[in-house]
Amino acid sequence: MKYYDKLIFELSKDGRTGYSLPENRWPDKEDGLPDVLKRTSSADLPQVSEPDVVRHYVNLSDMNFGVDTGFYPLGSCTMKYNPKINEEMSSYHGFAGLHPLQPADTVQGALQIYGELSGWLCALTGMSAFTLNPFAGAHGELTGLMIMRSYHISRGDSGRTRIIVPDSAHGTNPASAAVCGLEVVQVKSTAEGLIDIEDLKPLLDDTVAGIMMTNPNTLGLFEKEIHEIEECVHAAGGLLYYDGANMNALLGKVRPGDMGFDIMHLNLHKTFSTPHGGGGPGAGPVGVAGRLEHLLPEPVVTLSPETGKYVISGQPQGAGRISGFMGNFGVLIKAYAYILSLGKQNVRNVGPYSVLAANYVKESLKDSYKLPIPSLCKHEFVFDGLAKANTGDNGTEVTTLDVAKRLLDYGFHAPTIYFPLLFHQSIMIEPTETESKETLDAFIDAMEKIAGEAVSSPSILKEAPHNTPVSRPDETLAATHPVLTFRQRKSSDNRS
């Protein structure tokens, strides 16, 4: 029996406690709380001892998988190892204890970090200014697109309401564009997985606000025609937006600013080593070219040349305020510590090592899995399912989902599956630069074993995972009817 078979949620025993409060020394004194705020019935919390609580939560955390417990090759979502020193830095009381309304004079150190981090991001991307205020990648996209719209409108060019997005784009791109009130126009990919310039050209007219791109794109391929794309879009009066959520492959090598992009966002919680998953916290800084600087959201942090002090100011022509105060400051500190600890030289190694790791895994597995686009990839690549598979006892053939489930039995997190939508059985793998050759070899070995099982014993895959606390949950039900209380599940909650 495994520990999780014993994991029960009803631990409460009447009268058991894990705390003790001091005696009320003034039993006769009014407590001053208005009656309406006073509880009239018990809060009905579980009555448990401290060891009960500690064991319960530690056991629960053991049921989880994280980048600290194993390899996490999630394509389009860089899950690199997050050095612990970053956590330590961001939890310093001097940072964590700051109040967001403190006068600028009393938080000069924090503002210096904001200013210096913006400067480093400019240096790494070739943009001329950054706001660190947005809370996530998608939030950065929305901010960037608002800047794009303001730019056109401020020049009296108000008919630009369409945005071009490649069919391989991350789902947040069209979603952010729609939230920003732009109409999404898809541009097709060529058979090699790159933007089809002949499809792009006729789309470019005076109703186009710009194009949103990722380079390397979602298939991990570098858009070789980026200069021609840039010329065409700019010639038509549009702007180029760069989705830099996964900047790993380029870090220290190539800069979106040099490719001609006007606006971009970064995901500090992917490329710059903040733990993510489970909903946050993140940061999606937005960088812009010089002619768009005045359109950034407020507040902005600048170093006054006269006083040598950092000041917080408004931005009258800008996109307004898009977040409370100045973003997720703790995440900014982690990115700052990460860049500082890598230093100039090692930042340059992130790109080459992540590209090497991806190509190594791709080349090692290309006989066992279908590789629709065989060219050299950047930080990630896509398989289109197994090369060979048989049918399980339930009469259906082994699919990408079964491979992903079986990987859990081998102790690896599954890659991204069924995305991008260009292929039916997509398996998208991004190993990252933080993994050793031994880890990559162990993963390759597991993937090969699974490919063998798909032929010799397909039912093992169909019923996988066999060793995890939860086997195959009903994902729709889990999302639409999450059970978030500690109380025992009723049979009507129905969970597998």
The residues that touch ligand PLP, with contacts defined as CB under 6 A, are: 76-77, 136-138, 170, 172, 214, 243, 245-246, 267, 282, 284
R_g (Cα) of the chain, nearest Å: 26
Shortest reach from residue 246's CB to ligand PLP, in Å: 5
User: Which phi and psi (to 5°) does residue 405 adopt?
Assistant: -65, -40
82 versus 399: smaller Cβ distance to ligand PLP: 82
Q: Which helix (H) or strand (E) holds 137?
A: helix 137-154
Nearer to ligand PLP, 211 or 454 (CB): 211
Smaller CB distance to ligand PLP: residue 212 or 398? 212
Q: Is the dihedral of CA 72, 246, 423, 194 positive or negative?
A: negative
- With respect to ligand PLP, which residue has the nearer C-beta, 170 or 406? 170
Sequence letter at residue 203: L
Nearer to ligand PLP, 284 or 392 (CB): 284
Q: What stretch of H or E contains 428? A: strand 426-429
Q: CA 143 to CA 154: how far, in whole Å?
A: 16
Closer CB to ligand PLP, residue 170 or residue 334?
170
Q: Answer whether 240's CB lies under 8 Å from 306's CB.
A: no
Shortest separation between residue 213's beta carbon and ligand PLP, angstroms: 10
In whole angstroms, how close is the CB of 391 to ligand PLP at the nearest point? 34
At closest approach, how far in Å is the CB of 278 from ligand PLP?
A: 12
**Measured distance CA(279)–CA(293) in Å, rounded:** 30
C-alpha dihedral, 40 to 46 to 47 to 48, nearest 10°: -150
Q: Least CB distance from residue 270 to ligand PLP, whole Å?
A: 6
Distances (CA, A) of 417 to 77, 101, 430: 12, 44, 12
Q: What are phi and psi of 247, to 5 degrees?
A: -90, 5
CB nearer ligand PLP, residue 267 or residue 425? 267
Q: Looking up tokens 């082994």, which residue turns up? A: 398
Q: Shortest gap between Cβ of 184 and ligand PLP (angstroms)? A: 15
- The nearer residue to ligand PLP, 140 or 458, going by C-beta atoms, is 140
| Residue 132 amino acid letter | L
What lies within 8 Å, CB to CB, of 456 at 6+ separation is 390
Q: Minimum distance from CB of 274 to ligand PLP (Å)?
A: 10
Q: Kindly tell me which of 323 and 368 has the beta carbon lying closer to ligand PLP.
A: 323
| Residues β-bridged to residue 2 | none
Q: What token pair was written down for 468? A: 């995890």
User: How far from 193 is each of 382, 421, 443, CA to CA, in Å?
Assistant: 11, 12, 26
Minimum separation from the CB atom of position 13 to ligand PLP (A): 42
Structure tokens at 297: 């959201």
CB of 331 to ligand PLP, least distance (A): 11
- Selection from 431, 425, 444, 372 nearest residue 219 by Cα: 372
Length of the chain: 496
